[in-house]
C-alpha cells in the first residue's frame, strides 16, 4: 500500500488524540476512586497547593526566559532578520513558544493527576494492594499519555503548518527550555526539601519521617511531584521531541525526504499506540508482585512495537533497513535497562557489597558506592556505542553515491526514535513511583494503619526497582538522540552554507567557508572544543549540587526559626501547625535562583566556543559534551540509586538493621546520592540537548561571525 505523507500526518494526529482520550478516561477513573479520610484529603490539598505554587513560579520564570529567547530568535535565528526571510524567523519563534506551551501543559496535567492519585492510592491501600496499585499506576499513565500525545501532536502540527523541518528545532528548543527549568529546577527543589526535612527533622530533632510537625514535610512531598513527575515528564518530552526532530531534519535532507519522514511519523505513532495498549494490560492479582506487573507492561509494549512496526513496514512498503535501525535501538535500550538494574538491585552483588561496606563507616559507603557507579557506566556506554554503530552501518548503504554518512546518521536517529518509542510506558512507570511514595506519606500522616503502610511500602519499593531500568533506558535514549542531533547540526551547517552561496559562501570577514563532512579530532580546533565541551557536564552538575546545598541551608534556617517562634510546635500541641508555605516558597525561589547560573553557563560557553572557534569547535564541543555527559549521568544516577537501595536494604534488617552504625553510614550514602540521582544526574541529559539545539540554531551565526 502506498499512502502520501498527509495520511501519516493525519494518522499521527488521530493516534495523539487517542492518547489524550485514554488520558481523560484514566483521569476520570482515578478521580472516581473513593476518598473519605479527612486528614488524608487535607494533607493532599496542601501538597496540591504547594505543587501548584511551584509550577506557577516556574512557569513565570520560564516566561521571562522565553521572552528573551523569543526576541533573540526573532532577530537572529536561523539567520539575522535583515539578511534572511523574516517569515522563517517568525515561524521559528512561534515554534519555540509552541514547544514550551505543549510541554508546559503536559506537566500541568501530570501534576494535577499526581496530586489526586496519591490520595486515592493511599486510601485504596486500606482495601488491598491491587486497588492501591491501580490508582498509582493509572495516575502515572495519565502523565505518560499526555506527554507522548502532546509531543507527537506538537511535532506533527509544526511540520504540517510550517512545512519546515528547521522550525522543529525551534519547537524542540522550546521543550528543552522548559525541561531545563522543570528538571533542574524541580531537582533542586525536591532535594532541598528532602535533605532539609531529614536533617532538621530526623537527625536534629529525632522526629520520624513524614511527621506533620516538620515544616518541610509538605515541601518534601511536593518535591516528589515537581521533581519526579513534572520534571521527569518534561525531560522525556524533551528527549522524545528531540529524537523526532533530529530524525525529521535529517530525513528531509536525504534523497527521498517524503518516504523517510513517513517512516519517522509512522514508527513514532506505532510506539504511542503500543504504549496505549500496554497501559491497559497493566494489571495485577491481589497479592501479586507490583514489580512484575510494571515490567510486564514494558515487555508487552516493546514486543507490540516490534511486531506492529514490522507489519507496517511490510504493508506500507517501507525500507527494512530503517526498520532494523529502529528495532536495534529498542533492543539495546532493553539491554541497557537490564544492565543498569544489576547495579541498583538489592538482590545483586553491588548493593550487598556496599551494605557490607557500610559496616566500616560512611567513608567506605561512599568509596564503594562511587566505585560501583563508575563501573556501571561501561555496559551502557558499550550499548549506546554498539547501537549507534549498528544503526549507522545498517542504514548507510542506502546512501549510494557519497551520501552514506548522511544516511548513516539518519540511521542513528531512527535507533533513537526506536528506543524512545515506548516512552509512554516509561513515563507511566516513572510517574507511578512518586505517586505511591506520596501515598506512603499520606498513609503515615493520616494514620491509616500498619497494613496499609506495608502495602504502600511494597508499592514504593517496586517503583524504585523499576526506576533503575527506565532510567538506564532514558539515558541510553538521550545518548542516541544527542548523537543524532550532532548529525542534525551538520545538516544545519551545510544548509546554511548552501544559503550563503554554496561553493562561493563567505563569512562576515570575507573568508570562504566550506561544507563540513565531519569533525576530525586531530584538528586542534575540534580537539579544543572537545576538551572544553567535556568539562561542561561536570561543572553543570557541580553548580546544581552546590545550589542544593545553599538552598538547603536557607531552608534549615527557616525550620529552626519556626520551631523557635511557633509556640507548641515542637511539643506537637493539637491545633498548632507549622507554616508549610514558607518552606515551599524558599525551596521554589532558591531552586529557580540556583538553576539560572548553571543553565547560562552551559549556553554561554556554547556561544563563546562557537564565536571563537566556529562550527568545527562547536562540533568538538558537542561531542565532548555528549561523551562526558553520558558518563556523569550514568555514574551519578546509578550511584544514587545504589545508595538509596542500600539504605533500604539495611533498613529491612540486614547488616545490623535500622539504627545500627551501618544504617547511619547508609543514610550518609543516601543523602549524598539524593542530589546525584535526582538533581545533577538526570539534568545532564537536558543540558546536553539544550547545548546541541542552541548550537544547531546558531549554526549560521557561528559560520558567519567566528574568529577562527
Site for a second copy in 338-377 (CB under 8 A): 357, 360-364, 366-368, 370-375, 377
Q: Give the residue with the Cβ less far from a second copy, 123 or 594.
A: 594
Smallest separation (angstroms) from a second copy to the CB of 604: 13
Kind and range of the H or E run holding 630? helix 580-651
Closer of 357 and 698 to a second copy (Cβ): 357
Q: How far is the CB of 63 from a second copy (least distance, A)?
A: 30
627 binds a second copy (CB under 8 A): yes
Q: Tell me: does residue 393 bind a second copy (CB under 8 A).
A: yes
Contact between 410 and 250 (Cβ < 8 Å)? yes
- Which CB atom, from 45 or from 517, has the smaller least distance to a second copy? 517
Minimum distance of a second copy from residue 371's CB (angstroms): 4
**Quick one: how far is CA 95 from the chain centroid?**
21
Residue with cell 550487598: 352
- Beta carbon nearer to a second copy, 144 or 619: 619
User: Which one of 71-79, 148-156, 281-289, 484-492 is the stretch in contact with a second copy (CB under 8 A)?
Assistant: 484-492
Q: Name the residue nearer to a second copy (CB basis): 157 or 699.
A: 699
What nine digits make up the cell of 50? 504547594
We find the least distance from the C-beta atom of residue 490 to a second copy, in angstroms, to be 7
Interaction between residue 385 and a second copy (CB under 8 A): yes
3-state secondary structure 315-349: HCCCCHHHHHHHHHHHHHHHHHHHHHHHHHCCCCH
CA atoms within 13 A on the CB side of 695: 35
Binding of a second copy by 8 (CB under 8 A) = no
Using CB under 8 A, which residues numbered 178 to 207 contact a second copy?
Answer: 195, 199, 203
Q: Which of 121, 334, 628, 683 binds a second copy (CB under 8 A)?
A: 628
At its nearest, how many Å lie between a second copy and the CB of residue 561? 17
Name the residue among 76, 24, 261 with its Cα closest to residue 698: 76
Q: Which is nearer to a second copy, 81 or 374 (CB)?
A: 374
What residues have CB less than 8 Å from 415, skipping those under 6 apart? Answer: 325, 326, 328, 329, 332, 387, 388, 390, 391, 480
**Distance (Å, whole) CA 211 – CA 115:** 19
Decide: is 408 part of the binding site for a second copy (CB under 8 A): yes
In Å, what is the CA distance from 90 to each residue of 80, 144, 704?
Answer: 12, 31, 21
Report the distance separating Cα 637 and Cα 678, nearest Å: 7
Least separation, in Å, of the C-beta of 407 and a second copy? 11
| Contact indicator for 698, 77 with CB cutoff of 8 Å | yes
Give backbone dihedrals phi and psi of 83, rounded to 5 degrees, phi first.
-105, -45
Q: Which is nearer to a second copy, 385 or 568 (CB)?
A: 385
Specify the 3-state DSSP secondary structure of 300.
helix
CB of 482 to a second copy, least distance (A): 11
Q: Between residues 284 and 488, which has the closer beta carbon with respect to a second copy?
A: 488
Question: Counting contacts by CB under 8 A, is residue 331 touching a second copy?
Answer: no
Q: Measured from the CB of residue 339, what is the shortest distance to a second copy in angstroms?
A: 12
Residue numbers 518-577 binding a second copy by CB under 8 A = 518-532, 534-535, 538-539, 541-543, 545-546, 548-549, 553, 556
Nearest approach, Cβ of residue 514 and a second copy (Å): 15
Question: Which among 188, 229, 187 is positioned nearest to 47, based on CA atoms?
Answer: 229
Residues 95-154 that bind a second copy (CB under 8 A): none
C-alpha closest to that of 483 among 320, 630, 680, 638: 630
- Closest to 376 in 3D by CA, of 346, 427, 407, 340: 340
Pair 395, 414: CB distance under 8 Å: yes
Task: Tell me whether residue 337 or residue 547 sits nearer to a second copy (CB atom).
Answer: 547
Asked if residues 702 and 254 have their Cβ atoms less than 8 Å apart, the reply is no
Closer by beta carbon to a second copy, 67 or else 203: 203
Report, in Å, the least distance between residue 74 CB and a second copy.
32
* Residue 189 C-beta: closest distance to a second copy, Å: 16
CA-based R_g, the chain, Å? 25
- For 2-52, strand residue ranges (E) read none
Distance CA 60, CA 589 (A): 11
Please report whether residue 477 would count as binding a second copy according to CB under 8 A.
no
- Looking at the DSSP assignment, which residues form a beta bridge with residue 506? 512
Q: Does 399 bind a second copy (CB under 8 A)?
A: no
Backbone angles phi, psi at 292, to 5 degrees: -65, -40
Query: Least distance from C-beta 309 to a second copy, angstroms?
Result: 23
- Assess 244 for contact with a second copy (CB under 8 A): no
Which H or E run contains 12?
helix 5-32
Q: What is the DSSP string of 168-202?
A: HHHHHHHHHHHHIIIIIIHHHHHHHHHHHIIIIII
- 13 near a second copy, judged by CB under 8 A: no
Q: Does 388 bind a second copy (CB under 8 A)?
A: yes
Q: Residue 392, interface with a second copy (CB under 8 A)?
A: yes
Verify binding: residue 76, a second copy, rule CB under 8 A: no
Interface region with a second copy, contact rule CB under 8 A, candidates 60-68, 240-248, 418-426, 481-489: 481-489
Q: Which is nearer to a second copy, 59 or 528 (CB)?
A: 528
The closest alpha carbon to 700, from 495, 510, 515, 487, belongs to 495
Q: What residues from 633 to 672 belong to the interface with a second copy (CB under 8 A)? A: 635, 667-668, 671-672
Site size toward a second copy (CB under 8 A) is 80
Span interacting with a second copy, options 166-174, 277-285, 454-462, 516-524, rule CB under 8 A: 516-524
Residue 322 beta carbon to a second copy: minimum distance, rounded to whole angstroms: 16
- Minimum distance, C-beta of residue 14 to a second copy, in the bound complex (Å): 36
Which stretches of 254-403 are DSSP H helices? 257-281, 290-315, 320-344, 349-358, 362-375, 377-395
The nearest distance, CB 353 to a second copy, in angstroms, is 8
Give the footprint of a second copy on residues 248-307 (CB under 8 A).
Answer: none
Strand partners, 512: 506
Amino acid at each position: 500500500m502506498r499512502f502520501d505523507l498527509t495520511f501519516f500526518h493525519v494518522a499521527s494526529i488521530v493516534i495523539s488524540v487517542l492518547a489524550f482520550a485514554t488520558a481523560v478516561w484514566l483521569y476520570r477513573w482515578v478521580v472516581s476512586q473513593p476518598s473519605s479520610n479527612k486528614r488524608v484529603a487535607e494533607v493532599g490539598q496542601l501538597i496540591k497547593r504547594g505543587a501548584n505554587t511551584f509550577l506557577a513560579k516556574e512557569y513565570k520564570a520560564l516566561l521571562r526566559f522565553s521572552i528573551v529567547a523569543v526576541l533573540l530568535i526573532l532577530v537572529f535565528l536561523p539567520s539575522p532578520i535583515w539578511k534572511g526571510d523574516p517569515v522563517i524567523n517568525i515561524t521559528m519563534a512561534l515554534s519555540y513558544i509552541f514547544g514550551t506551551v505543549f510541554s508546559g501543559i503536559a506537566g500541568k496535567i501530570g501534576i494535577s493527576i499526581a496530586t489526586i492519585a496519591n490520595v486515592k492510592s493511599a486510601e485504596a491501600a486500606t482495601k488491598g494492594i491491587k486497588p492501591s496499585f491501580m490508582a498509582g499506576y493509572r495516575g502515572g499513565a495519565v502523565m505518560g499519555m499526555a506527554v507522548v500525545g502532546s509531543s507527537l501532536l506538537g511535532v506533527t502540527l509544526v511540520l504540517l503548518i510550517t512545512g519546515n523541518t528547521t522550525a522543529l528545532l525551534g519547537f524542540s528548543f522550546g521543550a528543552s527550555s522548559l525541561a531545563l527549568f522543570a528538571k533542574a529546577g524541580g531537582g533542586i527543589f525536591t532535594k532541598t526539601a528532602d535533605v532539609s526535612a531529614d536533617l532538621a527533622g530526623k537527625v536534629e530533632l529525632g522526629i520520624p519521617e513524614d511527621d506533620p510537625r516538620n515544616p518541610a514535610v509538605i515541601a518534601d512531598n511536593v518535591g516528589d511531584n515537581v521533581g519526579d513527575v513534572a520534571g521527569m515528564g518534561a525531560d522525556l518530552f524533551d528527549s522524545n521531541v528531540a529524537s523526532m526532530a533530529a530524525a525529521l531534519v535529517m530525513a528531509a535532507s536525504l534523497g527521498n525526504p517524503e518516504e523517510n519522514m513517513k517512516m519517522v511519523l509512522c514508527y513514532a505513532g506505532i510506539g504511542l499506540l503500543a504504549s496505549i495498549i500496554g497501559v491497559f494490560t497493566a494489571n495485577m492479582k491481589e497479592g501479586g508482585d507490583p514489580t512484575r506487573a510494571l515490567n510486564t507492561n514494558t515487555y508487552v509494549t516493546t514486543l507490540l512495537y516490534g511486531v506492529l512496526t514490522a507489519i507496517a513496514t511490510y504493508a506500507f512498503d517501507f525500507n527494512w533497513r530503517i526498520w532494523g535501525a529502529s528495532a536495534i535501538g529498542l533492543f539495546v535500550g532493553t539491554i541497557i535497562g537490564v544492565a543498569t538494574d544489576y547495579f541498583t538491585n538489592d538482590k545483586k552483588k553491588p548493593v550487598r557489597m556496599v551494605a557490607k561496606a557500610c559496616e566500616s563507616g560512611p567513608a567506605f559507603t561512599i568509596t564503594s558506592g562511587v566505585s560501583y557507579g563508575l563501573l556501571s557506566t561501561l555496559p551502557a556506554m558499550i550499548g549506546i556505542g554498539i547501537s549507534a554503530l549498528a544503526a549507522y552501518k545498517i542504514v548507510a548503504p542506502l546512501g549510494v553515491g557519497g551520501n552514506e554518512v548522511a544516511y548513516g546518521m539518519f540511521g542513528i536517529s531512527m535507533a533513537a526514535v526506536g528506543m524512545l518509542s515506548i516512552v509512554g510506558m516509561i513515563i507511566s512507570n516513572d510517574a507511578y513511583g512518586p505517586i505511591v511514595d506520596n501515598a506512603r506519606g499520606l498513609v503515615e500522616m493520616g494514620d491509616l494503619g500498619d497494613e496499609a503502610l506495608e502495602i504502600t511500602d511494597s508499592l514504593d519499593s517496586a517503583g524504585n526497582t523499576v526506576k533503575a531500568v527506565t532510567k538506564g533506558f532514558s539515558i541510553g535514549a538521550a545518548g542516541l538522540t544527542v548523537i543524532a542531533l550532532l548529525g542534525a547540526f551538520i545538516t544545519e551547517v551545510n544548509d546554511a552554507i548552501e544559503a550563503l552561496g554554496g561553493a562561493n559562501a563567505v563569512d562576515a570577514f570575507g573568508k570562504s567557508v566550506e561544507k563540513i563532512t565531519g569533525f576530525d579530532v586531530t584538528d586542534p580546533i575540534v580537539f579544543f572544543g572537545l576538551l572544553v565541551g567535556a568539562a561542561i557536564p561536570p561543572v553543570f552538575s557541580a553548580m546544581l549540587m552546590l545550589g542544593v546545598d545553599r538552598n538547603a541551608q536557607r531552608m534549615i534556617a527557616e525550620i529552626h526559626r519556626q520551631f523557635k517562634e511557633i509556640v507548641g510546635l515542637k511539643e506537637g500541641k493539637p491545633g498548632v501547625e507549622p507554616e508549610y508555605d514558607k518552606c515551599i516558597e524558599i525551596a521554589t525561589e532558591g531552586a529557580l535562583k540556583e538553576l539560572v547560573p548553571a543553565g547560562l553557563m552551559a549556553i554561554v560557553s556554547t556561544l563563546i566556543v562557537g564565536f571563537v572557534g566556529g562550527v568545527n569547535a562547536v562540533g568538538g564541543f558537542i561531542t565532548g559534551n555528549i561523551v562526558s555527559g553520558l558518563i556523569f549521568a550514568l555514574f551519578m544516577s546509578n550511584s544514587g540509586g545504589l545508595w538509596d537501595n542500600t539504605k533500604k536494604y539495611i533498613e529491612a534488617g540486614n547488616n545490623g538493621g535500622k539504627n545500627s552504625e551501618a544504617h547511619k553510614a547508609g543514610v550518609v550514602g543516601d543523602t549524598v546520592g539524593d542530589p546525584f540521582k535526582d538533581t545533577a544526574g538526570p539534568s545532564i541529559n537536558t543540558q546536553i540537548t539544550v547545548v546541541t539545539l542552541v548550537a544547531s540554531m546558531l549554526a549560521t551565526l557561528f559560520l558567519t561571525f567566528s574568529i577562527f
